[in-house]
Amino acid sequence: MKLNLSLQDDVQSPDLILKRAPLKKAIEMTLRHVDVQSDCEIGIACVDHEESHRLNLEYRGKDKSTNVLSFPSDFPEDILPLLDARPLGDLVICIPVVLQEAIDQKKAAYDHFMHMLVHGTLHLLGYDHEISEEDAEEMEALEIEILAKLGLANPYLEQD
Three-class secondary structure of residue 83 per DSSP: coil
* Sheet of strand 68-72: strand arrangement: 3-9, 40-47, 86-94, 68-72
Is 123 known to sit in a ligand binding site? Answer: yes
Residue 91: φ, ψ to 5°: -115, 135
Q: Give the 3-state secondary structure of 38-62.
A: CCEEEEEEEECHHHHHHHHHHHHCC
List all residues 6 or more positions away from 108 whose beta carbon is below 8 Å from its beta carbon: 102
Annotated binding residues for Zn(2+), written as ranges, equal 119, 123, 129
Annotated binding residues, written as ranges, equal 119, 123, 129
